[in-house]
Amino acid sequence: MARGNMLRQAANAQTTKPPDAAQIAGITVAAIGLVPLLAVVLVCLVGIIAITGTSTLATDPETGVSFGPELLGEGNGDVAGAIIGGSGKGRLAANAVPRPELVPALESAGQECDLISPIVLAAQIQVESEWDPATVGPDGEQGIAQLPPGVFDEYGEDDDDNGTKSVNDPIDAIHAQARYLCHLGTQVQQLLADHEIGGDALTMTLLAWDIGIDEVKALGTQLVPLDAYPYQVRGQFGTFSTGEDAPSPSPTSTGTTPGGGATPGGGGAPLPGNTGFNQAVFNQMFKNAIPFYTYSAMTTAMAKYPAFASGSGDVAKREIAAFLANVNHESGGLRYVEELNQSLWGDYCNRNVSYGCPAGQRAYHGRGPIQISWNMNYKAAGDSLGVDLLNRPDLVKNDASIAWGTALWFWMTQPGAGKMTPHAAITGGNGFGETIRSINGSKECNGRIPAAINSRVQAYQTFCQMLGVSPGDRLRC
């Protein structure tokens, strides 16, 4: 797909010479081609006006976008996007993907940020290359996603862990596509927040992919024509959607003790050092993880605690394996976000502390990868992360990077039932067993719940094997 400047040319059209006969004929043909699409838009708008009896119209039930003539004029709503293809959210129709072996990569990469989805990625690939990784664009775009020159160098990784990073490797390209879209999306959302441009975030992000972020900024609040690149992509959403909602996070079965330990029960920053841990390894470790728990959200949270996995060689690998093995046990293999046993939800409020439980008696139950609970822990974790978890504990179940942040906060700072933090235990040579003691030793260690210990140890040994490191000794507590 060539990167054009069609919109810029349209903006400057008033300063150019009048069109000749051939140009008029071309414009007429193009306009006629748009008639059916425009008719659909007009019918929808007229229908809403007839129903509401007003020109300020209504809210689209699928996208939540309020729209009307005044929003079309300012470019603040995405009426066309709501009509042409929908939101791009929902469940990917795997049988519609011409290369079924790429469905897992689409599912994984589609969780890179909230703006995109597997459907968005598939639709864009359909427009860009029709699933042919050998395609080379007129401006040097390459691979299945037709990444512009230099973009893959910055955003590409060896995501299938085959030893080679290549733009012609569809899995590597799909993940780079997702990272680049999310990068553009961040810039677009800032421009929207600053009122420098109009439109909706997804449409303008797709436009930035096509013509560049500077050109998008230069266009300001001009409307995006219905035949422009974003709507070519959005027009494919229906092809790759089942029409069903995407899987949503489900609740977990555990909570944490007052000391912070958990009772039995996510493109982020790269990890430091040569640990061998990446997106592909994460996916292998957690094959049944729900979309909420992304690799990107986890590594973003890790950036807040730079001492994590900062040891050399085997030390860093063992810490990653130990942390994720305990997370695996607490969250049921990253399948659950909240404590399943709701009868216990009211048990984690200590009103003896000065700040009490402002979010309610039942608000501080187990949430997240390590099942943080108790009002004291929510406050302390929130203070560390710079968010008000005492008053807004649901952020742990709604924001994946915050959820991962609470787990890392506990891992790095809380001794729990042990004499040292889990981080200090594993990096100081005290063994994996001491991390269990720090997390939930008062309930599990010394033969109290052998099955829970076995679950943690087995996961640790498996993860160590994946990272190519021996588990060491003192595995139990």
Point out the residues that are catalytic.
Answer: 330
254/185 Cα distance (integer angstroms) = 36
Residues 6+ apart with CB under 8 A from 227: 30, 33, 34
115/183 Cα distance (integer angstroms) = 10
End-to-end CA distance of the chain: give it in Å, rounded.
59
453/164 Cα distance (integer angstroms) = 38
Q: Which residues pair with 136 in a beta bridge?
A: 142
Token pair 């689409």: residue? 106
Question: Which ranges of 251-363 does DSSP label H, i.e. alpha helix?
Answer: 279-285, 295-302, 314-330
Please report the DSSP string for 105-144 in residue order.
HHHHHTTSSTT--HHHHHHHHHHHTTT-TT-B-TTS-BTT
Spatial contact of 352 and 258, defined as CB atoms under 8 Å apart:
no
283/22 Cα distance (integer angstroms) = 56
Task: Output the CA–CA distances (angstroms, integers) from residue 147 to 111, 152, 191, in the order listed.
Answer: 19, 6, 23
400 torsion bin: left (phi>0), alpha (psi -120 to 50), beta (else): alpha
344/366 Cα distance (integer angstroms) = 9
191/180 Cα distance (integer angstroms) = 17
254/189 Cα distance (integer angstroms) = 36
